[in-house]
Amino acid sequence: MKHDIDLFGNNPAYPPDHRWDRDQNGKLLNIVFQTGTFGNFLRYFLERFSTKTPNITENPFTEIGTSHVLKPNDFSGLIQKYHQWFIKDNEGNTNLPICLITTSTEKHYLYLKKAHWFRVGDSKISPDDLWSKAVGDMPERLKEYARAIIKLYDIKDTAHFTWIPKFIVRDWYKLEFLQDLKDTYNYQWSGAFENHEFFNDQKVFRLDLETFFDWDTFVENITELNDMFDLDLDFDRQAEMKELFNKGLSLDIIRQECNLAEDVLDNRSDLRLNQLDVSTEAFIYAEMEKANPDIQMPLTNRFFRDAEEIRQFIEHYPNWYRRPNPNIK
C-alpha cells in the first residue's frame, strides 16, 4: 500500500520561502530530525559537553523527559536543530554539516506511534485515552481515530459518554502492527524524509534512533559523530554524560516501554506487564501472532501478567483452535 506523502505540507500562516530557523544554520552542526526523536536533547548534550561551546548547567528536562525547557537564546547557535523544513530552507546549498536522526527497527515505529502524540509539544496524549476517556471527552486530535474504530468495529452506541472497550482499541492497534512495515504511513514518511535527494550533496552522519534507547549504543555513536565533525566533546566527563542520559531515560515512560516490549519478545524479561499502555500491548500481540501465524491473541480487557504467561498461552494453545490468521498476509 502506497501512502500519499507530503513532507512539507502547506502552512497558510507563512509564505513558501519562510525560513524556520533563527540563525540560518549552525557552523558546527545541524541536527535534522522528525518530531519526537530527541533532536532537542542531542543539541543540549553536544553544547554542554563540547569545549567549543559555552558550558550549560541548567536542567533540560520536562517532567516527561522531553528537552523542551531551555530557549534558543540559552544556546550558542553553533549547533542548530531542525525538522524536515531544513531541506526547503537550504535548497541549492551543499556540503552542510548534518546529523540526520534515522529509524531502523520495528521498535522505533512503535515508539513513533506513541511519541508523536505524547511528546510532541509536551501534549501528553496517550493511546490509552482512546479507551479510558469517553468518546465525547477525548482530545480533538483523537476523535478522528475514535470515529475510525467505531466504524470498523460497528459500535452502535456513539453517545457523548460512550467508552470504547480496551480490547477493541488494542485490536485496532494490532491490525496496523500486523501490516508489513513497509506498508505503514510512518515507515513511508520516514523513508521519504531520510532518503531525500537533498542529503546526497551534504556532509551527513546518520545517527540511528537506537542511540537514545541504550547508553552503550549512545556513547559509541556519539563518539563517531564527534570524530566526524570535530566537535571536541570532553569525554573526561563521561560519568556526567551517563548521569544525564539516564535521567532523561528514567523520565521517559515511552522509551522504557519500548525497551521492555523488546525484552519480552526476546525472552529477556520477567517483569510484570500491568503498566503497559494499550499500543505496547498491541505491539506484543502482533509480534507474537507473526511468530505463530495459526494463533490469535485473546480479545480481553486484561493483558498478560508477564512473559511467562504469554509463553504458557502459546505453548498450550489447543490444536483444534489453530487456524490461519486472517489478518496476516
Please report, as a single letter, which amino acid is at residue 121. G
Whether 231 is covered by a domain: the verdict is yes
Whether 294 is covered by a domain: the verdict is no
CB 115 within 8 A of CB 266: no
Laid out side by side, the sheet with 203-208 consists of 79-82, 29-32, 97-102, 203-208
Whether 63 is covered by a domain: the verdict is yes
Cross-strand bridge partners of residue 50: 233
Whether 170 is covered by a domain: the verdict is no
> b/e string for 34-72 if b means 16 or more Cβ within 10 A?
bebbbbbbbbbbbbbbbeebeebeeebbeeebbbbebee
Whether 211 is covered by a domain: the verdict is yes
Confidence at residue 167, expressed as pLDDT on a 0 to 100 scale: 97
Q: By residue range, what is the domain housing residue 231?
A: 29-106+185-252
Q: Grid cell 526523536 — which residue?
A: 37
Q: What are the helix (H) ranges across 153-252? A: 166-178, 185-194, 215-229, 238-251
Which residues have a Cβ under 8 Å from the Cβ of 160 and sit 6 or more positions away?
A: 134, 135, 136, 137
Query: Please, what is the Cα angle at 184 between 250 and 138, to 5 degrees?
Result: 60
Higher-scoring residue by pLDDT: 292, 119: 292
Dump pLDDT digits (tens) for 124-133: 889 999 999 9
Average pLDDT of the chain to the nearest whole number? 92
Confidence at residue 285, expressed as pLDDT on a 0 to 100 scale: 98
Dump pLDDT digits (tens) for 255-273: 999 999 999 999 888 889 9
For residues 207 and 254, give the distance between their C-alpha atoms in angstroms, rounded to a whole number: 20
* Statement: residue 173 has pLDDT above 70: yes
Rounded to an integer, the average pLDDT of 80-104 is 94
Confidence at residue 102, expressed as pLDDT on a 0 to 100 scale: 97
* Statement: residue 217 has pLDDT above 90: yes
Domain count for the chain, please give it: 1
Whether 175 is covered by a domain: the verdict is no
Whether 267 is covered by a domain: the verdict is no
Confidence at residue 22, expressed as pLDDT on a 0 to 100 scale: 61
Whether 147 is covered by a domain: the verdict is no
